[in-house]
Structure 1
Amino acid sequence: IALGHDFNRGLLHKNFWIVEELMGAQGHNVIGYLPRPNQAKMWSYQAFAHGCTNMLYFRWRGMTRGAEQYCYGVVGHDNHYGRRYKEVQSLFSEIVHYEHVLESDIKSDVAVLYDYENIWSWRFQQQSEGFDFTQELLRGYTPFYKLNTPIDVIPASRDFSSYKVLVVPALQIIDEELGKRFTEFTENGGVIIFTFRTGIKDKQNNIHFKQTLPGYVKEITGIEIHEVEALSSTQKAAIKGKGPYEGEQSSASVWRDIITPVTAEVLYEYDDPFYNQAAVTKNQFDRGTVYYVGCGIEEQTFEKIALDIVKQQHIEHRESEDGIEVYPRKLGEKSYYFLMNHTSEVKVFKDIVLQPYESRVVENIQP
């Protein structure tokens, strides 16, 4: 849900409206999930945190006829002003005090890049039966989301020079011009995380001829890739940490690029008797750093890398228990934090007790 909001904000690089926010159970034929008490309110707080400035609920009162008569609204078919009505009423009575915060711009140091032609290319030839582009987008997005740092989700064609970190999942289409932009970003001190199958094709969806992978970003990644393997939907490849991650054991899914380091440092390698080559690398290039994640690494492994990056780049972040989202908004010299408990359990963050699905705004949390 958070990624969806960040994607919509990234379309025009502006805050946005939501004109159909859910409150009751929904369905045209099969009726769906009924949000638990305060859960839909928490989702609304999350939307406001991520850039929504104005919100309408779908719907006010349930229809009694037509295709949408099972889309339950704020008020029921029986005209009962019950729990859902009171929940919406409490949301707007609380959030109106932060209208000035909602109108403020969101400044992100991290951007996740996508390209529609690249997505279509994957859709036509998915290469691995376990591949799903949205899941790969989430694989790169989630570790930074869990660190509670703002993220922009933007097209690769957008100017990304102002960011500190770029996450570039499964971008197989990279032409010479985009390769130069990535190089310039790195030379100026930026950090890039590429994942598997990077840079194998041109804009015509043809594999680069006589070009060592990963194509136009080979120099900045400091690696070469000569062999690859698709993993089945049930297959895993063991990987083990090297250098700063020495002793760590993990696994990979979906795909594996068999990486040959040239100037890059090996962070993880395949624990394999035949292909015990690099799986994840890190390369210093000019003033910047480029990571190459050659396989579908597990979330916990990606989280360790993301945490090291935000610390090294001095990006504001706050570690929290799983299920607790802390989204910062700044207005002038003041900081506001949207706290959302996405779980059905009581949680605590910085001595603040959050009831199941509770959400609130607080000011000036200590680091």
Structure 2
Amino acid sequence: MSHPEPAPAPAGLRRLAFGGDYNPEQWPEEVWHEDARLMREAGVTMVSVGIFSWALLEPDPGRYDFGWLDRLLDLLHVNGVRADLGTPTVVPPAWFYRAHPEALPVGKDGVRYAFGARGAICHSSTAYREAAAGITEQLARRYANHPALAMWHVHNEYGVPVSACYCDSCAAHFRRWLTARHGSADAVNEAWGTAFWGQRYRSLDEIEPPRTAPTVGNPAQQLDYARFADATMRENFTAERDILHRLSPGIPVTTNFMTALSQCESVDYWAWGREVDLVTNDHYLITDGRRTHVNLAMAADLTRSVAGGAPWLLLEHSTSGVNWQPRNPAKRPGEMARNSLAHIARGSEGAMFFQWRQSRRGAEKFHSAMVPHAGTDSRVWREVSALGADLGLLEGVRGTRTVADVAMLWDWQSWWAQSLDWRPSEDHDARERADTFYASLYDHHLTVDFAHPDADLSAYPLVVVPALYLATEETGRNLRRYVERGGTLVVSYFSGIVDADDAVHPGPYPGALRDVLGLTVEEFSPLLAGGTVRLTTPEGAPQGPGLTGDVWSDVIVPRGAETCWSYADGVPAGRPAITRNRLGEGTAWYISTRLSGPDLDAVLDRALADARIAPRTSLARDVEAVRRTGESGSYLFLINHTGTAAEVPLETPGTELLTGERAGKECTVPAGAVRVVRLDG
């Protein structure tokens, strides 16, 4: 399915989306009317309903009870609130599992999970697929023309908490998938390198899922199984989507992603982004001491990129603390609005929450909500109401697009491959490299698009590759074309090493990226725990700062690249550490050790100069300036994450929308606040 252009908005929604997951089944019906009054008071425009309601909608096999949902949707419609209506297929009823215990997933160790949580599904189960299609069809037939319906919400957070099942049904399904992908047992043997350790198969019937074994299993088999598990979940999504498209034409269909790299590792969102009508995302701050707003910006940029640059929708985040981390601090005053507007700056068409009213029972009763346990006489409620009013002032932003400065390559399948066992160093983490490179670009005040390795990169003056262990020959050719035509490329270590089957490319490392980088790597030399290496500029070269790396080093042989920093110690002492290759009209940089903070900034400063991207020294650290543009105008979002007011210079005067004040040569952004300037012209 090709991604629609532009992505459809929720039907009937004339303002930015504002609301949350609404679970009225947890409350007496008299509370529903109080909820409707409070929704009007807070400026709520849409809520998500029915996501976990299968057991109520189909209390017995084939017997349906839609009366409560009829009354709820009618109540929402009367009060001007649109509905993001869920298909409740993330939690089948207890009666279903009693009849079909084989639909519960099996772990790698052969133990079958029990009913009692959510997302406990074998996605290969025929019984599950039939039941999911049945309830989806019932909902579509009943509510396709309901005046409150804005969007269909299939399932919930695919891949959380279980993506792969290892049961016999999955084994049979995996063999069918292998037939489609590879064609024959001989082709599988070739792709997986089964000559190693005597793993050769005579027929596909001999192949099982990569269950728990005495030692490390075949990595190519594990990589294919990750692909299979992801594709199997996607098959179930598209089956429900197609039912909804057929019976409810014109209403967009989505499912909520979790693109933050730390929150869902098992889903290839490049593939999923092509299947939904509107990309939506859930994002929760990981409060472990890091700068949480940087991860938020990264997740929003990645979500927008999965949407092909089109507007998307933040479908869940939290008003305050969550419930599932080891420690769950409350958000500071103003942080909830700042988080919400930061997502909107980076392309979201609104700010939705989990959930509307805080639960009294169940596993998430301590997760914050729009209406907290403390009720409406609370800071959270006052901030929720204020945010709803502010979003009403930003209607012109709808449909505009965020303007990016640079690109970062990211590939979920490469991440899966690199994360398998027996790599050269367990301290090398692809996600950490992505986080660190992104943080440096963020601190340079650059807005980042993420891109698939085979995407057209010609629009970007700088492309950063923080971790691309798996890179095909086509990827190598794509990056070479990009540099030859004038682009600036920055590649980090352990990239370009293997092909799509996790086979090392023939010849020296870095395989697919040798030509564009103008070098070869004789061998890796990872460092022991806590070890570091010093980097200096070589004698006779322009003097630069001394740098310190850790985790990794390479033994590099230049094949046309110039040496910008050399190793001063370690196994590769005296050899190149950071290189720059002039190729055609552009340059390609290679960083062969792990750099962070100011050390990484120093190298990126040089690459930015090559890319002719001027330093943005007028912005203070942790003050964002992000632009959205479209037919309605150009909007500059200024987000101050610091404790002091910031003066931000403006290239063009305009009107600040949240206060109504004119902004001339500069705009003052109070501590912890956001300002949105509609620029003149």
TM-score, reference length from structure 1: 0.90
| 1:234-249 to 2 correspondences below 5 Å | 234-242=530-538, 246-249=543-546
Structure with the largest fraction of strand = 1
Number of equivalent positions: 364
The CA distance in 2 between the partners of 1:299 and 1:335, in whole Å, is 33
Asked if structure 1 preserves the Cα contact closer than 8 Å seen for 2:461 and 2:488, the reply is yes
The CA distance in 1 between the partners of 2:402 and 2:321, in whole Å, is 31
Letter in 1 for 2:476: G
Question: In structure 2, what is the equivalent of residue 341 of structure 1?
Answer: 640
Which of 152, 166, 170 aligns to 2:463? It is 166
Question: In structure 1, what is the equivalent of residue 410 of structure 2?
Answer: 114
Distance 1:100 1:305, change over 3 A: farther
- How far has the Cα of 1:176 moved from its partner? 1.8
Question: In structure 1, what is the equivalent of residue 447 of structure 2?
Answer: 150
Q: Does 1:309 align with 2:309?
A: no
Aligned-pair Cα RMSD in Å = 2.5
The CA distance in 2 between the partners of 1:91 and 1:146, in whole Å, is 27
The CA distance in 2 between the partners of 1:245 and 1:54, in whole Å, is 49
Question: In structure 1, what is the equivalent of residue 425 of structure 2?
Answer: 128
| 1:77-96 to 2 correspondences below 5 Å | 77-96=373-392
| 1:180-191 to 2 correspondences below 5 Å | 180-191=477-488
Identify which of structures 1 and 2 has the higher relative contact order when contacts are C-alpha pairs closer than 8 Å and 6+ apart.
Answer: 1
Q: Does 1:298 align with 2:596?
A: yes
Asked if structure 2 preserves the Cα contact closer than 8 Å seen for 1:337 and 1:361, the reply is yes
Question: In structure 2, what is the equivalent of residue 2 of structure 1?
Answer: 297
Asked if structure 1 preserves the Cα contact closer than 8 Å seen for 2:560 and 2:581, the reply is yes
Q: The residue matched to 1:182 in structure 2 has which SS?
A: helix
Structure with the largest fraction of helix = 2
The CA distance in 2 between the partners of 1:148 and 1:117, in whole Å, is 29
Question: In structure 2, what is the equivalent of residue 360 of structure 1?
Answer: 675
Distance 1:355 1:245, change over 3 A: farther
Letter in 2 for 1:130: D
Distance 1:266 1:206, change over 3 A: same
Asked if structure 2 preserves the Cα contact closer than 8 Å seen for 1:254 and 1:295, the reply is yes
- How far has the Cα of 1:298 moved from its partner? 2.3
**Unaligned segments of structure 2, at least 5 residues:** 1-295, 650-665
The CA distance in 2 between the partners of 1:253 and 1:43, in whole Å, is 33
Q: Does 1:329 align with 2:628?
A: yes
Asked if structure 2 preserves the Cα contact closer than 8 Å seen for 1:75 and 1:81, the reply is no
Distance 1:273 1:105, change over 3 A: closer
- How far has the Cα of 1:202 moved from its partner? 1.7
The CA distance in 2 between the partners of 1:338 and 1:95, in whole Å, is 13
Asked if structure 2 preserves the Cα contact closer than 8 Å seen for 1:208 and 1:215, the reply is yes
Distance 1:292 1:74, change over 3 A: same
Q: The residue matched to 2:458 in structure 1 has which SS?
A: coil
Letter in 2 for 1:163: Y
- How far has the Cα of 1:273 moved from its partner? 6.8
Question: What does the per-residue CA deviation read over 1:95-118, in whole Å, with 9 as the maximum and x for residues that have no partner?
Answer: 333332342122324111122221
Question: What does the per-residue CA deviation read over 1:286-321, in whole Å, with 9 as the maximum and x for residues that have no partner?
Answer: 111101111111221222333343344344763332
Which of 474, 492, 497 aligns to 1:177? It is 474
Letter in 2 for 1:313: A
Which of 577, 582, 585 aligns to 1:279? It is 577
The CA distance in 1 between the partners of 2:564 and 2:361, in whole Å, is 60
Question: What does the per-residue CA deviation read over 1:1-31, in whole Å, with 9 as the maximum and x for residues that have no partner?
Answer: 1111111111121221112121122215866
- How far has the Cα of 1:124 moved from its partner? 0.5
The CA distance in 1 between the partners of 2:366 and 2:297, in whole Å, is 26
Q: The residue matched to 2:329 in structure 1 has which SS?
A: coil
Question: In structure 1, what is the equivalent of residue 307 of structure 2?
Answer: 12
Question: What does the per-residue CA deviation read over 1:313-365, in whole Å, with 9 as the maximum and x for residues that have no partner?
Answer: 34476333222222223346954322222234555544755444222223559
The CA distance in 1 between the partners of 2:362 and 2:399, in whole Å, is 37
The CA distance in 1 between the partners of 2:532 and 2:425, in whole Å, is 13
Q: Percentage identity across aligned positions? A: 25
Q: Does 1:37 align with 2:333?
A: yes
Distance 1:286 1:124, change over 3 A: same
Asked if structure 2 preserves the Cα contact closer than 8 Å seen for 1:174 and 1:200, the reply is yes
Distance 1:174 1:346, change over 3 A: same
Once structures 1 and 2 are overlaid, which stretch shifts more, 21-30 or 160-169?
21-30
Distance 1:326 1:169, change over 3 A: same
Larger Rg: 2
Q: The residue matched to 1:144 in structure 2 has which SS?
A: helix
Question: What does the per-residue CA deviation read over 1:157-178, in whole Å, with 9 as the maximum and x for residues that have no partner?
Answer: 3333332221112212222222
Letter in 1 for 2:674: S
**Unaligned segments of structure 1, at least 5 residues:** none
Which of 190, 197, 200 aligns to 2:497? It is 200
Letter in 1 for 2:456: D
Once structures 1 and 2 are overlaid, which stretch shifts more, 81-90 or 309-318?
309-318
TM-score, reference length from structure 2: 0.50
Question: What does the per-residue CA deviation read over 1:85-136, in whole Å, with 9 as the maximum and x for residues that have no partner?
Answer: 2222222322333332342122324111122221111111342132221111
Question: What does the per-residue CA deviation read over 1:197-228, in whole Å, with 9 as the maximum and x for residues that have no partner?
Answer: 1222122101123x122223212211121122
Asked if structure 1 preserves the Cα contact closer than 8 Å seen for 2:490 and 2:607, the reply is no
Distance 1:54 1:132, change over 3 A: same
Asked if structure 2 preserves the Cα contact closer than 8 Å seen for 1:326 and 1:338, the reply is yes
Q: The residue matched to 2:393 in structure 1 has which SS?
A: helix
The CA distance in 1 between the partners of 2:325 and 2:611, in whole Å, is 49
The CA distance in 1 between the partners of 2:584 and 2:607, in whole Å, is 17
Asked if structure 2 preserves the Cα contact closer than 8 Å seen for 1:188 and 1:287, the reply is yes
